[in-house]
Structure 1
Amino acid sequence: MKLRLLIVDDSEDDVFLLVRTLKSGGIELEYRHVETALELMQALKSSSWDMVITDHNMVGFTSKEALQVVRKFSEDLPVIIVSGEIGEDVAVNAMYQGAQDYIMKDNLARLIPVIHREVKLNADRKAKRDAEESLQYLAYHDSLTDLVNRAEFERCLDHAVQMAKLEKQSSILMFLDLDQFKLVNDTCGHVAGDELLVKITRLLKLHTRETDTLARLGGDEFGILLNHCRKQEAVTTAERIRSEVQDCRFVWQDKPFNITISIGMAEITDQLQNHHELLSCADIACYVSKDKGRNNITWYNPNDNEFHQRRAEMQWAPKIKRAAEDDKFVLFHQPMANLQQDLGPHWEFLVRLKDDQDLVPPGAFIPAAERYNLMPIIDRWVVKHVFHFLQHSGLGYKDQGTYFINLSGSTLSDGSFFEDVKRLQEASGLLPERICFEITETAAIANLVDAVQFIEDIREKGFKFALDDFGVGLSSFSYLKTIPVDYLKIDGSFVKRMLSDPIDRGIVEACNQIGHAAGLQTIAEFVEDEATMDALRNVGVNFAQGFGIAKPGPLPTLWLDNPSDSPSPQHNANT
């Protein structure tokens, strides 16, 4: 044990005796001897010490005063009083004021165990203090990048909003989102993703001033609060960041990635209420940057209709999450007509959102769900409740017919969705062939690899699959060779004009013929009258769907069970 000891004593002989006692007790010692308050202060300033041992009565100086000097520099540094004469009441009072112990000079043998004890206790105190300081630091900082975290950044933003109201200060919020982070994370793993975030953090630090606040807001999102900054200066900074990130090549295990960043900017004005509104403005601007093709900078404009639309979509996001959690979605269904032979009931399940006493149509909330990657939540809710309805309706639906459930492209990329479907099917006892999942042609093509893999897996389990809106893509027929499905739903834009436009009729006939050549059943959408239905029957289309057959409506009222009792996985139906 090596001890760095500061000795406060006005007697050279007593110091010599003290040092000899400690060394003979096996303590390796580095010490400094001081006699006055000034020397003590200088010693505490110039070096760090493990312990202070002080005499009680010195010329013009007491242990009480020595203790006060030490405590100005450190609350934790152990102080032991060694004295030839000290009253018990004085000693007890000294310990009350912060001394660790007192020892009589005629009993120095007791000093060795006391020192060992205090060194250990001080180490424990330091470890506890370090842990508390670390927890305190992590409460305000991101553990990966060491940047300010979201909670602390929001506090800084609120302060900036208040300053804008009080002092008319010009400050700017910059919201930054990496464009390729998910690609790096998914293909190379989280370690690579973390390394990319650290690399971008270093780059962003080069472009922030001491007066600015740089934060990681979560995932691949960063925020920069540019205090006392004019708009043009902020735009220049943003452009430098965008340009340098674009030039930044990220290589992981010999795989190169071109990285870009989308930036949204908003001015902090006295019109803003709080950080929530401010972050929303910058976030909306960032999404517009992504819509423009990514690698862009967008300045929030409160008078632009595009920003109003984005704001409306953002307000839907928390409502969608709550609706799934609180069962505020409602199932509707739309029957189809058998045109060639009776193959039992064919329905498409649809979804509405209950907002107070109103039922919100999907066109109001589905775009927001797609933008904010919430479609898997809705899709899971629909699958769960459809399975429960078919199992418990008491109307025999589980034993006949085919029932269609819409899926989004993002759901097909959700690795756990297929397992959730299997788990629900097994729990319900429903025959897989009763269910036909469907996805639009454009969504399937946009997610082709995931779509084909999911369709193959789901059909192998016994479920069916339909390709919706078929015919709108320029390469519809060629993709039909790639995407394995059971039904083709011919896009309604051709069907509703087939009696008046020979080209549309030709497209309907071609889609039907190709579908039958591939061994598929065909369904015509947007059938609005009897004449169109007769024409489709003559063409050979198998099923018709549209307002001319039945409008979407509530499920049969005999279903009284509560679907919340069924097994819950994690989570569309559209029109």
Structure 2
Amino acid sequence: MRDIPAMVSRGALLAALYFAGAGMTVLYLQTPADVALFWPAAGIGYAMVLRFGKPYVLAIAAGQALLHLLLVPAPPLFLPFSIGSNALATWLAAAYVSAHARQLRLRTSDGFLLMRGAGVLCLASAGIGSLGMLVAGMIAAADWPRAFLQWALGDLLGATATTSSMLLLFGVPRQEQTRLAPALGSLRERLLWSLLMALLLAGGIAIAHRGSMYPLAIATLPLALLLWSAARFPPTFTSVATTVVTITLALILGLGIGLDGVQRPDSLQDTALLVSSLVVVSTIPILLAASYHERFVAMAALHQRATRDPLTDLLNRDAFEEHARLRLAANAGPLSLLYIDLDNFKLVNDSASHAAGDEMLRHAARLVQAEFAAGDALIAHSGGDEFTVLAALPDEQAVAAARRLLGAIEAMRVAWQGGNLRITASIGLAGSQPPHASFDELLSQVDAACHEAKDLGGNRVLATAENAESLRNRSRMMRSALDAREALDQRRLELWCQPIVPLAQPAQPNRVHFEVLLRWRDGEGLLRPPANLIAAAERFRLGPRLDRHVLDATLAWLESHPDVAARVAQCSINLGAATLVDEEFGEYLAARLRRSALRAGQLCLEITETSVVRDMTRTRRFIRRMRNLGCSFALDDFGTGFCSFSYLRDLQVDYLKIDGSFVRDLASSPLSEAVVRSITEIAHLLDIRAVAEHAEDETQIDLLRALDVDYAQGYAFQRPLPIAEFFGVKS
């Protein structure tokens, strides 16, 4: 109800606009029986009903009634036909357009739709109006075809001349939202164009006034300038200019106003030819402008897709990198690069769905924008749960902004299916002063800082300047991971072996119990210890691949030496924590053993105490499956981790390998002796054999025997050797 006064006010304004458009040509009718060859009110009414809705046909009826009341008296019998022809025909045309398009935009397909609707309007209006003239006795029956055609042509020209400009002025969307600015002509160019158009029209009128035989040339000369406008200027400018030019030409050529040498066309053929020419002038520039606009919108959409992230509407990774490199190269003031990674985001996707994760990313993106957009910062959704920001801020201000952002993210609640999702983030930050470091160098620094922040528990900012030493250690670890990947790719890993010797009874002749150890060669061919390589591989998710390589290489070597394989009592191979929870590794190992000459009972898989407690459920499942195949298990480095004996009953391991730190201090430390004794006694209680690592001399061996340790391994028996040398196989 509150909209009714606004609708009445708008209807009154539209009725007045319609009346003005109709009055423009009616003033030049010579008799009430005349039919105007140009009826701009048709386009005005058509546009306003399309824009504001079908109820506004009442404004057309009011404007038409006002026209007959004030300017053009008509026979009473003709009045309902005159009012109905304009109102009803416009309603039918708008209904036709609405049935084929929910929303009109500036595009060629909608332009042709408007022309088809204009055809409906013209035919319906001409049919009703000319019938009314016949019924009211305003024309003879023989003149009805001429009246019908003139009425239709007048409405058609009015619709093509004014509908587009009225729609654009009424606020119909001109283009989809885009960040690209179209290449529009300057103000100086528009002024030059307007001057040329005025001179061209004035010159054409002067020539026609002097009695030229080709008055239609006046209609075609401005077309060149209108095409220029379509290619260079905004669509609204071109549309309004086309309307003004068409109205000017129609008033002069169609009505013969103001020119002695130009007369109103008398024959139906001349009328049709003149109006058709003016229709071409009024439609071609608009269609061309729509075509240029469509091409621009398509280019903008492609640019949007190429540079923006569709989920968050931030820059994507490639666009951010391109802009960041340019900004760093400009060396204009201090800059700070921030790398933002949401903590444990995978849990949101896994527990609440990826749709919930997407919603959380959108919320986080808005928080990042709210914190940094004011400073003209570059902000990107780099992929997954990561955001990158390049802000024109010095270190201290950037750290303060990053901490505010962390607080906002921690306080964020995302409503989802009756609950609230929450999350934290880790931020790595690197500042740079002119001349700036390269983008790649800064990105490497913030990436390392962000991952270090996550390793420290997350929900924190780590600035490279304040944590240089820890980040250097992490960089070394990352280089070790690259070394591991390269060594795997180039097959620069070597198998070494060390025996595991029984202490309580002599070893069986021709039966070998040993552990496979790993060595690797760097790019210069130098042999390197495996500790850093294995730690980096485990940390950066290369563990399962490394373990597959060692297992496959060991089995392949033994299979190629069947006489050696027959001597193997137990071959121990280490598995990392990531491998234990890798479902595919169990499938691979089962398939590999099925086609191996080595029996599963000859294989012992060594796992560490700390890796077991990472995911106890999956570890139990893995051990159970491998034991069903016949494999044995050893719990390595026991005693240094959580020292929990309670879960040994559920793990079903065959060996407990006592950590070498206790064995090394056995002779001098009562505590070490107590630990070794306790582990051994509990192992025997659970029917598990104890193995002492890093046994280095006879004193330690004697003490281990006294403590009933079952096996020992270390330099006291043999240093590790390459596998071929260990078995005495000549290469």
TM-score range with shorter-chain normalisation? 0.7 to 0.9
Q: Distance in 2 between matches of 1:137 and 1:423?
A: 48
CA change 1:547–1:240 in 2 (3 A) is: same
CA contact (8 A) 1:524 1:545 kept: yes
Q: Take 1:391 and 1:219, find their aligned partners in 2: how far apart are those partners?
A: 44
Structure 1 residues 261-270 or 300-309, which shifts more?
300-309
Match of 2:223 among 54, 60, 63: 63
Identify if the C-alpha distance between structure 1 residues 132 and 325 changes in structure 2 by more than 3 Å, giving closer, same or farther: farther
The counterpart of 1:224, out of the listed 389, 400, 408, is 389
After TM superposition, list the pairs within 5 Å mapping 1:173-188 onto structure 2.
173-188=337-352
CA contact (8 A) 2:483 2:533 kept: no
Map Cα deviations across residues 374-426 of structure 1 (whole Å, 9 max, x no partner).
32232232223223223223443267322222222222233322222223333
334, 352, 366: which one aligns with 2:498: 334
> Distance between the aligned counterparts of 1:236 and 1:470, measured in 2?
45
Quote the sequence identity (%).
Answer: 32
Q: 2:314 aligns with which of 139, 147, 152?
A: 147
CA shift in 2, pair 1:145/1:60, >3 Å? closer
| C-alpha distance in structure 2 between counterparts of 1:56 and 1:329, whole Å | 89
Conservation of the 8 A alpha-carbon contact between 1:147 and 1:215: yes
Residues 41 and 69, structure 1, Cα contact 8 Å, conserved in 2:
no
Matches of 2:310 and 2:335, distance apart in 1: 27
SS of aligned partner of 2:372: coil
Q: 1:41 to 1:275 in 2, by over 3 A?
A: farther
Q: Verify: 1:392 aligned to 2:560, yes or no.
A: yes
**2:458 alignment partner, SS class:** coil
Is the counterpart of residue 33 in structure 1 residue 154 in structure 2?
A: no
Unaligned runs of at least 5 residues, structure 1 = 1-11, 80-103, 561-575
Seen in structure 2, the aligned counterparts of structure 1 residues 525 and 69 have a Cα distance that, compared at 3 Å, is same
Q: Write the deviation string for residues 12-56 of structure 1: whole angstroms up to 9, x where unpaired.
A: 98878xx9996797699893417xxxx989979986799xxxx98
Does the 8 A contact of 1:250 with 1:259 survive in 2? no
Q: Shift of residue 236 of structure 1? A: 2.0
Note the 1:94-133 alignment, pairs <5 A: 133=300
**1:267 positional shift:** 0.3
Contact 1:389 1:559 in 2 (8 A): no
**Paired position in structure 1 for 2:191:** none
d(CA) in 1 for partners of 2:637, 2:310: 47
C-alpha RMSD of matched pairs (Å) = 4.3
C-alpha displacement of 1:306: 1.8
* Alpha-carbon distance between aligned partners in 2 of 1:346 and 1:303, rounded to the nearest angstrom: 46
**Structure 1 residues 282-293: aligned runs within 5 Å:** 282-293=446-457
2: CA distance between counterparts of 1:387 and 1:320?
Answer: 21
Match of 1:202 in 2: 366
Equivalent positions of 1:466-477 (< 5 A) are 466-477=634-645
Q: Distance in 2 between matches of 1:324 and 1:14?
A: 85
Q: Distance in 2 between matches of 1:70 and 1:185?
A: 50
Partner of residue 190, structure 2:
none
Whole-angstrom distance in 2 between the partners of 1:27 and 1:213: 52
Structure 2 CA distance for partners of 1:152 and 1:358, relative to 1, 3 Å = farther
In the TM superposition, residue 172 of structure 1 has moved relative to its aligned partner by 1.0
Counterparts of 1:150 and 1:42 in 2: how far apart (Å)?
40
2:533 aligned partner, one-letter code: F
Aligned-pair distance for 1:135? Answer: 4.6
Deviation at residue 171 of structure 1 after TM alignment: 1.3
2:586 is equivalent to residue 418 of structure 1 = yes
Query: What residue number does 1:451 align with?
Result: 619
| Partner deviation per Cα, 1:84-110 (whole Å, 9 max, x = no partner) | xxxxxxxxxxxxxxxxxxxx95998xx
Distance 1:61 1:163 in 2: 50
Q: Which stretch shows the higher mean deviation, 433-442 or 550-559?
A: 550-559
> How far has the Cα of 1:194 moved from its partner?
2.8
Query: 302, 305, 313: which one pairs with 2:469?
Result: 305
CA gap of 1:321–1:152, structure 2 versus 1, over 3 A, is farther
- 8 Å CA contact 2:395–2:430 kept in 1: the answer is no
What is the letter of the counterpart of residue 66 of structure 1? L
Secondary structure of the 1:477 match is: coil
Instruction: Letter of the 1:336 partner, please give it.
Output: I
Query: Structure 1 residue 230: deviation in Å?
Result: 2.9
Name the structure 2 match of 1:324.
488
Q: Distance in 2 between matches of 1:552 and 1:33?
A: 94
Of 479-488 and 134-143, more deviation after overlay is shown by 134-143
Indicate if the aligned counterparts of 1:391 and 1:398 stay in contact, CA closer than 8 A: no
Number of equivalenced pairs? 509
Contact 1:160 1:268 in 2 (8 A): no
The alpha carbon displacement at 1:551 in A equals 2.1
Q: Which protein is bigger by CA-based radius of gyration?
A: 2
The 1:317–1:129 alpha-carbon spacing in structure 2 relative to 1, beyond 3 Å, is farther
More strand by share: 1
SS at match of 2:429: strand
Q: Is the 8 A contact 2:324 2:378 kept in 1?
A: no
- By how many angstroms is 1:431 displaced? 2.5
* CA–CA distance in structure 2, aligned partners of residues 276 and 56 of structure 1: 67
Deviation at residue 336 of structure 1 after TM alignment:
1.7
Aligned residue in 1 for 2:670:
502
AA paired with 2:364? I
The structure showing larger relative contact order (alpha-carbon pairs under 8 Å, at least 6 residues apart) is 1
More helix by share: 2
Structure 1 stretches (4+) deviating beyond 4 angstroms?
Answer: 12-16, 19-30, 39-50, 104-108, 125-135, 250-258, 557-560
Q: CA separation of 1:397/1:56 partners in 2, compared to 1, >3 Å: closer, same or farther?
A: farther
How far, CA to CA, are the matches of 2:416 and 2:566 in structure 1?
A: 51
Structure 1 distance, partners of 2:529, 2:334, is 42
Q: Deviations over 1:438-467 (max 9, x none)?
A: 221122123333322322232233322211
SS at match of 1:216: strand
- Aligned twin of 1:404: 572
**Conserved in 1, the CA contact under 8 Å of 2:329 and 2:436?**
no
Provide the TM-score with structure 1 as the length reference.
0.76
Segments of structure 2 that go 5 or more residues without pairing to the other structure are 1-34, 44-88, 90-114, 123-155, 176-214, 243-271
